Chains A and B, each alone.
Chain A
Amino acid sequence: MSQELLHVKDLHISFKAKGKDVRAVTGVDFTVDKGQTMGIVGESGAGKSVLGLSILRLLPDATAYIPQGSIEFKGNDLLKLSKKDMQKVRGDQISMIFQDPMTSLNPVMSVGDQIIEALRYHNKDKLNKAQLEQRVDEVMELVGIPAYRKKEYPHQFSGGMRQRVVIAIALVCNPELLIADEPTTALDVTIQAQVLAIIRDLQKKLGTAMVLITHDLGIVAQMCDKVGVMYAGEMVEHGSIEDIFSGDFHHPYTMGLFGSIPNLETESKRLSPIPGLMPPPNNLPEGCRFHPRCKHCMEICKTVAPEKYYDKEGHYVACHLFRDKGKEENHD
């Protein structure tokens, strides 16, 4: 196994709302190795983005808190770092690509300035201004924007070009880990492909690990080494890309997600979406959180939350259906 970069251990994230606790993420475990890409999939509201933001500790202090768990980055618990140390990690070692390139660039600052800024927060090599500018040119060429456009403002760029700028900002300090929160959701399909290709190329070139948050299984298949499927704040299935995309050892929710997208190999007249909606995090059902929508729902599902059942190292499903098929293992 290669070197472990990020280890999220039993992470719980709650929000305070009107005196009540709203549990957005409960007991999520996963690791990301150097250069590896971890995909996190799930419907809207599953807690994917909250999980992504929590790694950089960008959740609002006033309402969000982490009652339990740790986020270890290269062996250090990010949750225990001081505010100042955390600022040193952000952008330099871990950086983030946001969902909407239309709003994630400052409209009154030229794109060159915005790229150079990220670089200046972490100017370890004491580059002078001309060298900084040169680095900006390099990064812009790297993501496929001609360097002469650096004096232009975000509104002069198209959505796809803006997302390239966002990627350039995220990569300018050569971070070891990139958190991409639905990086292509706001883009049209052709641009999506281009942006993903850029991210993948750069990842290969720079050896950056990535946590890719998305609801698009196609993107996961293209980009990821490992996948975690999230439902209502829990990771209901976790495994390598092969584990998730093949075999029949799957959580019904994962099956449901696959049933919701067209498939070239099997013929079906209609797609079979998962009925119903995700429960709101302040009103989670008893037992398995998926049971009200599950077609395999049994009596036990309504009262007892399922354990994680492993079918092999690194691939588990949290579902009572696999009580006998999978072996119960302690994930330590």
Chain B
Amino acid sequence: MSDKIPNGNPLKRRKNSVWKNAFLQLIHNPLSCLCLCVVVFFILVIIFADVIVPYEDGIKQIGANRLMAPCAEHVFGCDSMGRDLFSRMVHGSRNSLTMGIGVTIVVMGIGTFLGAMCAYYGGTFDVIVMRLCELMLCIPGVLLALALVAALGPGRNNLLIAISISSIPGVTRQFRALMLNVISNDYIQAAKACGARDAYIILRHVLPNVMAYIMLNTASGVAGMIMQISGLSYIGMGIQHPEPEWGAMLSEARNYLGEAPHLMIIPAVTILIVSLSLNLLGDALRDALDPRLKAD
């Protein structure tokens, strides 16, 4: 019966077009288009790292190449141990970016869930979760992550767990406040008056109203996460030597700032470009997803 109706599935069609419209608006703006290109470029680098340059090139230590300046053979030069910096940058993106993005998504996901539960149901659950969050917020994030890594032992997974745990309380509190604001609106009451179930209200009414902020937070959170991972890697609690990681490379290069500034400039500028693009993209995405800011 339904396949005879010419429109096909009107609901589904419209839902796609929301995202499609957001995408169209995104690439319409030259700045956000550029940012999108940069992010896509880095994603491609992550995927095709092995095709671009073999991993061994970034591990192989050639004494003669120590602190070599950029040249035709080594476009980014070589580091203090004579390893090809270009190769280390390419393979480092796998660690830095995937971990940064992965941790951010996990943190935002858990933060959103807990925040929504606390804001919507309130009561004892809310009190317990919020007091726990406050307790954890009393300890500086890096210190907490450090303590957790120390307890769990260094390594990639433990690093991710530690950073996630130390970041969740702040995010939960923030999202709870945002959602409380949304829940106090009449349309939530109106949805209840229409007979909506709790899960439906949270998913269809509360979340879409805070989605823009969550997007923005996620995009700008990635840069912060990369820096946190770098920080912990620097003190030997994260990615283990000799695996390449942008933050670790950056801190290593500090010792050679006078002799080989490119060792510092290249990772620093790359991190800057990535985080700037993600921030701007998050901003643009927020605008594109909010129907009130849309020009028709």
A residues adjacent to B (C-beta < 8 A):
56, 58, 62, 87-92, 95-96, 98-100, 103-110, 116-118, 121-122, 128-130, 133, 151, 153, 155, 166, 169
Contact = CB atoms under 8 A, between A and B. Distances in A.
B72 interface: no
Contacts of A155: 291-292
- Interface size bracket, B side: 20 to 34
B10 interface: yes
Given A104-B186, A151-B14, A153-B291, A109 B195 contact: no
Given A95-B193, A95-B194, A130-B10, A105 B2 contact: no
Given A108-B209, A129-B11, A153-B292, A121 B194 contact: yes
B2 A129 contact: yes
B290 interface: yes
Contacts of B205: 106, 109
Contacts of A109: 204-205, 208
Contacts of B10: 129-130, 133
Nearest to B212: A108
7 contacts: A90-B195, A91-B194, A96-B190, A98-B190, A104-B187, A128-B2, A153-B292
B291 A121 contact: no
B254 to A, nearest CB: 46
Contacts of B197: 87, 121
Given A133-B10, A151-B14, A107 B193 contact: no
Contacts of A122: 195
B189 interface: yes
Contacts of B2: 128-130
Q: Is the interface of B mostly helix, strand, loop or mixed?
A: helix
Contact of B5 (A98, A118, A130): A130
Contacts of A151: 14
Interface of B: 1-2, 5, 7, 9-11, 14, 122-123, 185-187, 189-197, 200, 204-205, 208-209, 211, 290-292
Contacts of A56: 192-193
Q: Please name the 3 residue pairs, one residue from A and one from B, whose CB atoms are nearest each other, closest first.
A: A91-B195, A91-B194, A90-B195
A143 to B, nearest CB: 16
Given A129-B11, A153-B292, 7 more contacts: A87-B195, A87-B197, A103-B185, A105-B187, A118-B194, A121-B195, A169-B190
A169 B194 contact: yes
B195 A128 contact: no
Contact of B186 (A91, A103, A110, A128): A103
B204 A118 contact: no
B180 to A, nearest CB: 13
A90 B194 contact: yes
A43 B215 CA distance: 45
A219 to B, nearest CB: 20
Nearest to B5: A130
A35 B55 CA distance: 79
B1 A128 contact: yes
A109 B5 CA distance: 25
B264 to A, nearest CB: 44
Given A58-B189, A133-B10, A107 B195 contact: no
Nearest to A88: B195
Most chain B beta carbons < 10 A, residue from A62, A117, A151, A166: A117
A96 B291 contact: no
A169 B189 CA distance: 13
B192 A106 contact: no
A105 B11 CA distance: 19
A95 to B, nearest CB: 6
A116 B14 CA distance: 13
A106 B185 CA distance: 9
A301 B5 CA distance: 70
Contacts of A92: 195
A75 B205 CA distance: 33
